[in-house]
Chain A
Amino acid sequence: SQQGEEDPQALSIQEGENATMNCSYKTSINNLQWYRQNSGRGLVHLILIRSNEREKHSGRLRVTLDTSKKSSSLLITASRAADTASYFCATDTNDYKLSFGAGTTVTVRA
């Protein structure tokens, strides 16, 4: 079974708008990582947030982590057409493997 579950499954926004997607997980984690995937190709690492961190920023990305609710969110600000992709959260427990959700598909309309 998958550890992380993203919500919503799909998101369509206008260029310039913000996109927010959420990830819930079931067990304690070491860290949580967000990835982007374009057109079924390789995964691009976006950001890693450790279990003792609450918020992290990278460029237009903002990630929050609430370990008490076992949830995380990814915010993409001022979206661009190039942000059109699938986004996955992946949880890292102490066994080094990553457990992925099914992803959120984001479409940015021009």
Chain B
Amino acid sequence: ETGVTQSPTHLIKTRGQQVTLRCSSQSGHNTVSWYQQALGQGPQFIFQYYREEENGRGNFPPRFSGLQFPNYSSELNVNALELDDSALYLCASSLEREQFFGPGTRLTVL
């Protein structure tokens, strides 16, 4: 167990809807990163937050947005859901270079 938790575990949405995914980081970790993992592929970096500021972003459109709170927990928001957004969403917390992942949220867009 890494101490990183994510909610919900599973989620089903329809195209065009909005979704919020949540992540609680491991105690003491001030950095949270979000990844999208499509079926059969490796995780793709979405963005990273360090001390409540976005610290880097991957090749994802602006409808993917995030927040980090003072307790270092984080949210990933996706607007105007598309079918291709169906994936496992992983968050990872870190203090230095090692990233520790949560169990993920499985999002299905119908």
Contacts and interface: CB of A to CB of B under 8 A. Distances in A.
A43 B40 CA distance: 14
A88 B35 CA distance: 14
Nearest to A48: B98
A42 B5 CA distance: 10
Contact of A33 (B42, B45, B98): B98
A80 to B, nearest CB: 20
Interface residues of A, number: 25
Contacts of A41: 103-104
Contact of A103 (B42, B98, B104): B42
Nearest to A30: B97
Contacts of A103: 41-42
Interface of B: 2, 4, 31, 33, 35, 37, 39-45, 48, 55-56, 58, 88, 90, 92, 97-104, 106
10 contacts: A31-B97, A35-B101, A41-B104, A45-B2, A48-B98, A98-B35, A98-B43, A100-B43, A100-B44, A103-B42
